[in-house]
Chains A and B, each alone.
Chain A
Amino acid sequence: MFKRLTCFLLAFALAFSFSLTPLQAFEPSPEDRELLNKIEKDTLQYFTRFSDKVTGLTKDSSRTGSPSSVAATGFALAAYAIGGSRGWISQDYAYTRILTTLQTLRHKAAHQKGFFYHFLDARTGERVWGSEASSIDTALAVAGALLAARYYPGTEIEKLAREIYERVNWKWMMNNSDFICMGWTPESKFLPYYWDSYNELMILVALSIGSPTLPVPPGAWERWLRPEGDYNGHKIIYASTGSLFTYQFSHAYIDFRNLDDRGINFFENSREATLANREYSMSFSGQYKGYSESSWGLSASVGPGGYKAYGGKPGGGLQDGTIAPYATLSSIVFTPEFSTQAARFFYDSYQKELYGNFGFKDAFNLDKGWWANEYLGIDQGITLLMLENYLNGEIVWKKFMGLPAIIKWIELTGLERRSASTAKN
């Protein structure tokens, strides 16, 4: 009797604590929800405005002279599909844009064994700036293509997306090593850098294992390092830079909430990392007037001294007062209350300098009186996808998790699915 009572009380306490976890229980006010929707809708306009009308390739940045980025193009594919489904752009327009872009990626865009070059000429699809055939950027392009395909099943879009995915020789990019190489150039062949430690690599490894044609061995999932660190009591498998985007990119597509990786839940890991990142910047609030409870977000972004991998601890912890609003917003699935609070603060306080036709500009630094005058494609993309997951019934996760490739990856790597009753979220 006593044992049964204890079990009941324990279960009740656990359920109570989960249901009242503030971040999960948080429901934005109608005004905040409206703002978040506006931001997502405005962010979408980046992709319609800065993608080439003929090829569909999306510019890396809104800055004049910027080439197109394959990763940004991948996000554009996802963005069109989302925009079409939400009625922000017409279904015809969305379909045509996606189709055009996929045809370019399939037939025109420069690639090496299916790996697209990081930067391409938006008009011709040729490689520019001596960029590398990039594994992570290809993975982000493929992820966007596969997601778009889920919005338009049984169409030419699905066929092209599958062909682009199946063409990629993921195993070749391992270069006979234990890890996936970061890239390859015709001049230097394989780069001396590998995806060997935790960061945004999970989407890449998942797609490379799940490939139906040229996959990497399932063991590639276990091999990359999972370095453990601690900041302010937040125990985290951390990325070397400590940049928020590293805890977000894979989560834009993959729903890690119910996946256990030998005791690690990467969704909870990202939430802890986000909280640590916020607290880390707040610890400098006396030094930098830009940092506060409502103003945080250390991630790779442009800054007064160029593009830098700003980040928190554990990790590099590089900071100089620069805040990247995209990173704050893209944490919304992990820290909904804090991210919404920050979005409201940024919008109300700095709308004139920071908010434009395409949502929030990339970054700002109050101490140096510096405001970014540009938007970055991948930062726009992660913002849009994370907001969509948060605001629209986790639709991106639901669609992406149904992909055969993702199901295969989960099965082959031994990731354990949590049952709904044991899942925190």
Chain B
Amino acid sequence: MNQNRRKHFFINKPLQIRFMLAVIVPLFLINLVALAGLYFGIWSKVLETFSNEQTLNDLVTASRMVEYEQARHPVASQDFSSLSFFKQTEKLSLRQREVFKGILDETNRSLLWKFLLLLFFLAWGTIFISHKIAGPLFRFSKAFNEVEKGDYRSRVNLRKLDEGHPVAQEFNEAMEKTDHLLSNLKALAQEKDAPQAVAKIKEKLSTVQTSANV
């Protein structure tokens, strides 16, 4: 299990960030729309229940008691608040608005923590998934660099849960063959009988397709 563990969160930062954005943004928007739908839907229902006559009477009376006091001790005008999203509350009295605002704020705080937790898991998930792609790409890139420098012993060894195992296998097989060919060519180049060595090299290279196909 430890073998499969990455040492760094970001192996290929630009790629992983692009990947995260590609995953997170749509997921975030979908979640947002779903949450907003639930949120407003639920609260609209809650508010509707207050149109019940008895409940409304009790609410109005309770709020009126407080409003009388507030009329004696004026308070500052109401600024933008969580209630501003709900048109229904414009019809409510000051006290009713206060009660609803308290409930809404408490719910919003609770939802905010859950939303942040969701966002955290979403970010962690995308990093985890992007790791499976970015890791192999990194290893391929590293292998190509080594080949470019002339080291044909390079192989791509992917972790168990990484994506691209078939490609890596094909790459490794190709590298194996190339390595083998070049090893043979190098061995032939060491032979003392030069004409025979050249003939063998020509034979070995006869199956190789290159740009300079002469």
Chain A residues within CB distance 8 Å of chain B: 60-61, 63-67, 118-119, 129-131, 182, 193, 240-241, 243, 300, 304-309, 316, 318
- The CA-CA distance from A318 to B76 in the complex, in Å, is 11
A340 to chain B, nearest CB (A): 27
Contacts A131-B65, A316-B74, A318-B74 hold; do A307 and B93 have CB atoms under 8 A apart? Answer: yes
A240 touches B67 (CB 8 A): no
Instruction: Provide the residues of chain A in CB contact with B93, threshold 8 Å.
Output: 305-307
Extra 9 A-B pairs, beta carbons < 8 Å, given A306-B93, A316-B74: A63-B60, A129-B61, A305-B93, A305-B94, A306-B96, A307-B67, A308-B67, A309-B74, A318-B74
**Residue from the list A61, A193, A318 in contact with B72, Cβ < 8 A:** A193
Interface residue? B63 (CB, 8 A): yes
Q: Give me 19 A-to-B residue pairs in the complex whose CB atoms sit less than 8 angstroms apart, sorted by A's number.
A: A60-B64, A63-B60, A65-B57, A65-B58, A65-B60, A66-B61, A66-B64, A67-B61, A129-B61, A193-B73, A305-B92, A305-B94, A306-B67, A306-B92, A306-B96, A308-B94, A309-B71, A309-B72, A309-B74
Considering the complex, give the chain A residue whose CB is closest to the CB of B68.
Answer: A307
For B60, B63, B95, the residue with the greatest tally of chain A CB atoms inside 10 Å of its CB is B60
Considering the complex, give the chain B residue whose CB is closest to the CB of A315.
Answer: B74
- The CA-CA distance from A42 to B22 in the complex, in Å, is 72
Instruction: Provide the residues of chain A in CB contact with B92, threshold 8 Å.
Output: 305-306
Interface residues of B in 48-68 (CB under 8 A from A): 53-54, 57-58, 60-65, 67-68
- The CA-CA distance from A318 to B96 in the complex, in Å, is 20
- The CA-CA distance from A67 to B96 in the complex, in Å, is 18
Interface residue? B90 (CB, 8 A): yes
Considering the complex, give the chain A residue whose CB is closest to the CB of B94.
Answer: A306
Contacts A64-B57, A65-B57, A65-B58 hold; do A307 and B72 have CB atoms under 8 A apart? Answer: no
Secondary structure class of chain B's binding surface, majority of residues:
helix
Interface residues of B in 81-137 (CB under 8 A from A): 90-96
A129 touches B62 (CB 8 A): yes
Instruction: Provide the residues of chain A in CB contact with B53, threshold 8 Å.
Output: 64
Interface residues of B in 2-50 (CB under 8 A from A): none
**Residue from the list B62, B74, B90, B96 in contact with A241, Cβ < 8 A:** B74
**Residue from the list B61, B71, B95 in contact with A300, Cβ < 8 A:** B71
- The CA-CA distance from A193 to B91 in the complex, in Å, is 29
Contacts A65-B60, A131-B65, A305-B90 hold; do A240 and B74 have CB atoms under 8 A apart? Answer: yes
Instruction: Provide the residues of chain B in CB contact with A305, threshold 8 Å.
Output: 90, 92-94
Considering the complex, give the chain B residue whose CB is closest to the CB of A191.
Answer: B69
A197 to chain B, nearest CB (A): 11
For B63, B74, B92, the residue with the greatest tally of chain A CB atoms inside 10 Å of its CB is B74
Considering the complex, give the chain B residue whose CB is closest to the CB of A195.
Answer: B72
Interface residues on B, range: 20 to 34
Residue pairs across A and B with CB atoms within 8 Å: the count is 58
Considering the complex, give the chain A residue whose CB is closest to the CB of B54.
Answer: A65
Instruction: Provide the residues of chain B in CB contact with A65, threshold 8 Å.
Output: 54, 57-58, 60-61
Considering the complex, give the chain A residue whose CB is closest to the CB of B93.
Answer: A306
- The CA-CA distance from A66 to B60 in the complex, in Å, is 9
B56 to chain A, nearest CB (A): 9
Considering the complex, give the chain B residue whose CB is closest to the CB of A303.
Answer: B93
Instruction: Provide the residues of chain B in CB contact with A304, threshold 8 Å.
Output: 91
- The CA-CA distance from A422 to B73 in the complex, in Å, is 38
- The CA-CA distance from A130 to B69 in the complex, in Å, is 12
- The CA-CA distance from A60 to B72 in the complex, in Å, is 17
- The CA-CA distance from A225 to B92 in the complex, in Å, is 35
Instruction: Provide the residues of chain A in CB contact with B63, threshold 8 Å.
Output: 306
Considering the complex, give the chain A residue whose CB is closest to the CB of B75.
Answer: A309
Instruction: Provide the residues of chain B in CB contact with A61, threshold 8 Å.
Output: 64
Contacts A305-B93, A306-B95, A308-B94 hold; do A119 and B65 have CB atoms under 8 A apart? Answer: yes
- The CA-CA distance from A32 to B114 in the complex, in Å, is 67
Instruction: Provide the residues of chain A in CB contact with B60, threshold 8 Å.
Output: 63, 65
Contacts A306-B92, A306-B94, A307-B93 hold; do A241 and B57 have CB atoms under 8 A apart? Answer: no
A39 to chain B, nearest CB (A): 24
A298 to chain B, nearest CB (A): 13
- The CA-CA distance from A308 to B70 in the complex, in Å, is 8
Considering the complex, give the chain A residue whose CB is closest to the CB of B77.
Answer: A318
B20 to chain A, nearest CB (A): 46
Instruction: Provide the residues of chain A in CB contact with B90, threshold 8 Å.
Output: 305
- The CA-CA distance from A60 to B71 in the complex, in Å, is 15
A-B residue pairs, 4 tightest by C-beta: A306-B93, A65-B57, A309-B71, A307-B67
- The CA-CA distance from A182 to B94 in the complex, in Å, is 21
- The CA-CA distance from A423 to B85 in the complex, in Å, is 58
Considering the complex, give the chain A residue whose CB is closest to the CB of B67.
Answer: A307
- The CA-CA distance from A116 to B184 in the complex, in Å, is 112
For B53, B64, B73, the residue with the greatest tally of chain A CB atoms inside 10 Å of its CB is B64
Instruction: Provide the residues of chain A in CB contact with B54, threshold 8 Å.
Output: 65
Instruction: Provide the residues of chain B in CB contact with A129, threshold 8 Å.
Output: 61-62, 65
Instruction: Provide the residues of chain B in CB contact with A119, threshold 8 Å.
Output: 65
Instruction: Provide the residues of chain B in CB contact with A309, threshold 8 Å.
Output: 70-72, 74
